[in-house]
């Protein structure tokens, strides 16, 4: 992708103040985006991100599980930068601390909490984006964060079954809206990473047994955990006009996870 791939584009990143989202925001600005609105829960993280990104960035703080959160971010993008062209939904995470896990251990509270964070939030943000795109009558792009766990499970080390259900649902939901809104030039795609360096991955990154598994499950580039930057080129492609003929697709940026057995030595 060229440094002008996102020229004149305004991007909203739900969950963009840290980690994968912040890395994507940097990439979007480097690719020439006119403006990027990032969202997150923590005001301090939001302020630090904007200070780093500069005057073409704006932060909106709030809860991604709120139906109004993305609406507010998109309105801020239109007001501050004069338009809205693409949405990247990154917000989500493990429901383990909320009661997710292997199915026989999943709590009654863990089911709605994990689904709210990882699925409901996506539905709300995508709804807000589609409504705005239809009102503008100019098309646009939606990119949702999936996971290889949505269709390529790892029972020994990564059994969070409600999370997997949510990520699987994101794939079906995204394909459904891609089909429905293609005549309006509204595109919707999914980016599905494997294990990447994020706060959610700290448990795995500190476990020698899991790291040994990852060396064979993600064998590319030495068998390492992914980095947020590994996803950035794909993000720019899907958000930019370069993907004008691409919709309803799921791209696994996974170090080989989905084509490797991950056998222990």
- 228: tokens are 């947020």
Has 163 been annotated as catalytic?
yes
Q: Which domain holds residue 172?
A: 10-254
**140: which strand partners?**
186
Is residue 1, in this structure, part of any structural domain at all? no
User: What is the CB neighbour count within 10 angstroms for residue 82?
Assistant: 11
Is residue 5, in this structure, part of any structural domain at all? no
Is residue 2, in this structure, part of any structural domain at all? no
3-state secondary structure of 125: helix
Is residue 67, in this structure, part of any structural domain at all? yes
What is residue 254's predicted lDDT score, i.e. its pLDDT?
Answer: 98
What's the full length of the chain, in residues?
265
What does each of the 265 residues of the chain score in pLDDT, given as a tens digit?
A: 667 899 999 999 999 999 999 999 999 999 999 999 999 999 999 999 999 999 999 999 999 999 999 999 999 999 999 999 999 999 999 999 999 999 999 999 999 999 999 999 999 999 999 999 999 999 999 999 999 999 999 999 999 999 999 999 999 999 999 999 999 999 999 999 999 998 767 787 788 999 999 999 999 999 999 999 999 999 999 999 999 999 999 999 999 999 999 876 5
Q: Cα dist. 56→34, 49, 66, 226, 245 in Å?
A: 7, 12, 25, 28, 28
Q: Which residues contact 177 (CB under 8 A, 6 or more apart)?
A: 126, 130, 142, 186, 188
Is residue 138, in this structure, part of any structural domain at all? yes
Count the domains in the chain: 1
pLDDT digits 0-9 by tens, 113-143:
999 999 999 999 999 999 999 999 999 999 9
Q: What is the residue whose two structure tokens read 């507010």?
A: 72
Check 124, 163, 181, 237 and give the catalytic one: 163
Is residue 170, in this structure, part of any structural domain at all? yes
3-state secondary structure of 252: strand
Instruction: Estimate the crossing angle of helix 43-53 against helix 19-30, to 10 degrees.
Output: 20
Is residue 259, in this structure, part of any structural domain at all? no
CATH classification of the domain holding 232: 3.40.50.720
Is residue 264, in this structure, part of any structural domain at all? no
3-state secondary structure of 186: strand
pLDDT digits 0-9 by tens, 69-128:
999 999 999 999 999 999 999 999 999 999 999 999 999 999 999 999 999 999 999 999
């Amino acid at each position: 992708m060229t440094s002008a791939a996102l020229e004149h584009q305004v991007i909203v990143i739900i969950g963009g103040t840290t980690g994968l989202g912040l890395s994507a925001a940097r990439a979007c600005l480097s690719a020439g985006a006119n403006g990027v609105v990032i969202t997150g829960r923590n005001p301090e993280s939001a302020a630090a991100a904007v200070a780093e990104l500069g005057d073409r960035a704006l932060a909106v703080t709030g809860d991604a599980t709120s139906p109004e959160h993305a609406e507010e971010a998109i309105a801020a993008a239109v007001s501050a930068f004069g338009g809205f062209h693409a949405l990247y939904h990154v917000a989500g995470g493990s429901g383990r601390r909320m009661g997710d896990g292997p199915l026989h251990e999943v709590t009654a509270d863990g089911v709605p909490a994990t689904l709210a964070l990882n699925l409901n939030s996506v539905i709300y943000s995508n709804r807000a984006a589609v409504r705005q795109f239809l009102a503008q009558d100019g098309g646009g792009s939606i990119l949702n964060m999936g996971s290889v766990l949505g269709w390529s499970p790892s029972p020994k080390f990564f059994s969070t079954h409600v999370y997997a259900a949510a990520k699987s649902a994101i794939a079906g939901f995204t394909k459904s809206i891609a089909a429905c809104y293609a005549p309006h030039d509204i595109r919707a795609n999914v980016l599905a990473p494997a294990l990447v360096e994020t706060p959610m991955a700290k448990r795995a990154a500190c476990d020698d047994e899991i790291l040994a598994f990852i060396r064979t499950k993600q064998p590319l580039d030495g068998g390492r955990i992914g980095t947020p930057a590994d996803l950035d080129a794909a993000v720019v492609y899907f958000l930019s006009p370069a993907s004008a003929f691409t919709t309803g697709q799921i791209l696994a940026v996974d170090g080989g996870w989905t084509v490797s057995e991950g056998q222990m030595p």
